[in-house]
Chains A and B, each alone.
Chain A
Amino acid sequence: MTWVSWRLERTEALIVLGILALLAALLVPTGIQMADAYHRDGLAACLSVNPGPTCGNKLGDFRQHFQSLIDLSNWFTLVPGLIGVLLAAPFIFDLEHGTYRLAWTQSITRDRWLLGKLGSAAVAAALAAGALILLFTWWRAPSVHLDGRLDTGNYDSTGIVVIGYTLFALALAVALGAIWRRAAASLAVAFVGYFAARVFVDVLLRDHLVAPVKATYRGTQQPSFLYNAHILSLRGATHGHEILGGSSGPAQKFATPGMNSAVFQVVYQPDSHFWPLQLTETAIFVGFAAILILFASWWTRQRTS
């Protein structure tokens, strides 16, 4: 069954490899440029406690060159969804074209068939996700240094959540395909579903997956605990007047004049919460993926003839 699952998955696997290759072709040249610029300008030094006088300009330059590219690349977070649904296609085609009847009347059991088909798709999905993580970790290294791991674009693509995303998209497509037995419709709807789930988790859930930290600080200097943190809300008051409402923008790293006596109240996710957040979000996606796969297996085993 192992040979059979892989052989029947060959076309889709090649398409996924093609996508990865295309992505690499797009990202490698710019990634090299970005890394060069980062190291040439010695931007690493600018992130220390005492940045030199030229840092303002150098960082400004870097951002001017590359920030729009980095922002655009955030859209690549849809790629795990695309790969996941694609890898569900062989399973759904088997149901759509009736070849499952061929498989179930050889000599293996239905369970063995399900395990082989879905197992090999899941393995392929995880491997592809791993490749994506590697690629993006390398490409986004400068951005991670500058904006931290918790920055949405970095968080989404350089952590293990990518594996969760891919498996979830695969499982959603498999579940829909088990019921509808139509590949095109199932893949399309599953991709939309993946998009909706991602938006929901990103916008509503992510900030609260792990309890954020509340703190108060004085003065204009950015306290070190806010370094690379993800700020949920920041309120400041000076002499009793509020000067800053609850915003959740990137942490400021430079002093704003005239704020020496201000008191700030901040709610944030510190950089150290990166792994707990990643693991929790991954667990959610993988958990739902497992439920969907189990449902699809049950449906296929009991209700299909």
Chain B
Amino acid sequence: MNDTVAIRTSGLAKRYGSRWALRDCTLEIPSGSVTALVGPNGAGKTTLLHLVIGLVEPTSGAVDVFGRSPRRDAKEVLPRLGFVAQDHPLHRNLTIADTLTYGRKLNPSWNKQLAVSRVERLGLSMRQKVGQLSGGQQAQVALTLALAKQPQLLVLDEPVASLDPLARREFLNAVMEAVVEEGITVVLSSHIVAELERVCDYLVTLADGATQLTGSISQIVASHRLLTGPRSDAAGVARAHDVIRESHTERQTTLLVRANGHVYDSRWEQHEVDLEEIVLAYLGYQSGNGAAATSALEMVRS
């Protein structure tokens, strides 16, 4: 059971003071998958990731990583975990060489060869100070630290948020290579959906501390449809399928549905929907009002 499920949560929740950052989160992330954790800022993505890696104690519920508690069994779990926090913190005064020594001293399963060759392929000199590197290079050094300990699970908190498009592509490329070569499981959070579709095969959406959509991306895209047709109400469709979003003009109705099987109603013209549209619809769906949907739109579309 440990081997097919990398992360399992049940009723996981975290409260800070009077505010619930994460509520009743139950999900399973398969081993070997690359999971996108998507949601607007403040949705609870960082909280969920911190709970998964054992940085934070849950208020209620449980989380398992490869079958063990990341907090109680930290000694066993930590070596199998690679983490890059938001803004990829590093000691800016250390040279790259010192940073790698840092990793070696703190990790029993450190692969020095891997670390050194990655740095070489990045075209960086061991003597450079981390603080002098560009944002993209620093992110890559942080990723090197995480990968050189040879983890089975890689957790990345908004790894590419502050990077330019080229640096983003290079970073994700490095992650993909690690997936091909080592078969690691990856969970990465982002408030940008567009780029994740080609890199990820599993999705978890989070808004206001609650999960809405979880599942394999190909399944999600396959099971959602955009239906357009002359102005009418959604009742007929809603009997058989889940209407996620509906909007009307005077003459036309547009429905985004999660289809339970085939949609046979010939009144509706069916279109495929891309992942970004689906995610946006769910993020707006949860809050149920226009303002929240717009801000969700801003977050996810940027």
A and B, direct touch (CB closer than 8 Å): yes
Q: Any chain A CB within 8 A of the CB of B105?
A: yes
Which of B37-45, B81-89, B289-297 is near enough to bind chain A?
B81-89
Cβ–Cβ contact A105 & B53, under 8 A: yes
Cβ–Cβ contact A3 & B85, under 8 A: no
Cβ–Cβ contact A107 & B55, under 8 A: no
Report the minimal beta-carbon distance from A65 to chain B, rounded to whole angstroms: 46
Instruction: Determine the residue in chain A with the shortest Cβ distance to B74.
Output: A109
Report the minimal beta-carbon distance from A6 to chain B, rounded to whole angstroms: 11
Instruction: Determine the residue in chain B with the shortest Cβ distance to A90.
Output: B91
A105: chain B residues within 8 A (beta carbon) = 53, 55, 78, 81-83, 85
Cβ–Cβ contact A1 & B98, under 8 A: no
- Could you tell me which residues of chain A, from 54 to 109, have a CB within 8 Å of some CB in chain B? 97-99, 101-109
Chain A interface residue bracket vs B: 10 to 19
Given A106-B149, A305-B55; A3-B93 close (CB under 8 Å):
no
Q: Any chain A CB within 8 A of the CB of B69?
A: no
A8 to B95, CA, bound (A): 12
Q: Any chain B CB within 8 A of the CB of A28?
A: no
A97 to B89, CA, bound (A): 7
Q: Any chain A CB within 8 A of the CB of B108?
A: yes
Cβ–Cβ contact A1 & B85, under 8 A: no
A101: chain B residues within 8 A (beta carbon) = 55, 83, 85, 89
Report the minimal beta-carbon distance from B72 to chain A, rounded to whole angstroms: 11
Cβ–Cβ contact A104 & B55, under 8 A: yes
Cβ–Cβ contact B105 & A4, under 8 A: yes
Cβ–Cβ contact B93 & A107, under 8 A: no
Cβ–Cβ contact A98 & B55, under 8 A: no
Cβ–Cβ contact A11 & B93, under 8 A: yes
Cβ–Cβ contact A99 & B106, under 8 A: no
Instruction: Determine the residue in chain A with the shortest Cβ distance to B109.
Output: A107
Instruction: Name A4's contact: one of B55, B89, B102, B149 (CB within 8 Å).
Output: B102
A252 to B143, CA, bound (A): 73
Q: Any chain B CB within 8 A of the CB of A241?
A: no
Cβ–Cβ contact B89 & A3, under 8 A: no
A3 to B145, CA, bound (A): 17
Cβ–Cβ contact A99 & B89, under 8 A: yes
A245 to B85, CA, bound (A): 69
Q: Any chain A CB within 8 A of the CB of B107?
A: yes
B142: chain A residues within 8 A (beta carbon) = 102
- Could you tell me which residues of chain A, from 96 to 141, have a CB within 8 Å of some CB in chain B? 97-99, 101-109
Q: Any chain B CB within 8 A of the CB of A7?
A: yes
A102 to B102, CA, bound (A): 10
A97 to B94, CA, bound (A): 14
A8 to B85, CA, bound (A): 20
As a 0/1 sequence over residues 115 to 152 of chain B, the CB contacts with chain A under 8 angstroms (1 = contact) are: 00000000000000000000000000010010001000
B87: chain A residues within 8 A (beta carbon) = 98
Cβ–Cβ contact A99 & B91, under 8 A: yes
Given A3-B105, A7-B98, A106-B103; A305-B56 close (CB under 8 Å):
yes
Cβ–Cβ contact B105 & A102, under 8 A: no
Cβ–Cβ contact A1 & B55, under 8 A: no
Instruction: Name A98's contact: one of B56, B89, B103 (CB within 8 Å).
Output: B89
As a 0/1 sequence over residues 1 to 34 of chain A, the CB contacts with chain B under 8 angstroms (1 = contact) are: 1011001100100000000000000000000000
Report the minimal beta-carbon distance from A120 to chain B, rounded to whole angstroms: 13
As a 0/1 sequence over residues 90 to 104 of chain B, the CB contacts with chain A under 8 angstroms (1 = contact) are: 111110001001110
Measured CB to CB, the residues of B under 8 A from A are 50, 53, 55-56, 74-75, 78-79, 81-83, 85, 87, 89-94, 98, 101-103, 105-109, 142, 145, 149
20 CB contacts below 8 A, A to B, read: A1-B106, A4-B102, A4-B105, A7-B98, A7-B102, A8-B91, A8-B94, A98-B87, A99-B89, A102-B89, A102-B90, A102-B142, A103-B106, A105-B53, A105-B78, A105-B85, A106-B103, A107-B106, A107-B149, A305-B56
Measured CB to CB, the residues of A under 8 A from B are 1, 3-4, 7-8, 11, 97-99, 101-109, 305
Q: Lowest 5 A-B CB distances belong to which pairs? A: A106-B106, A105-B83, A98-B89, A305-B56, A101-B85
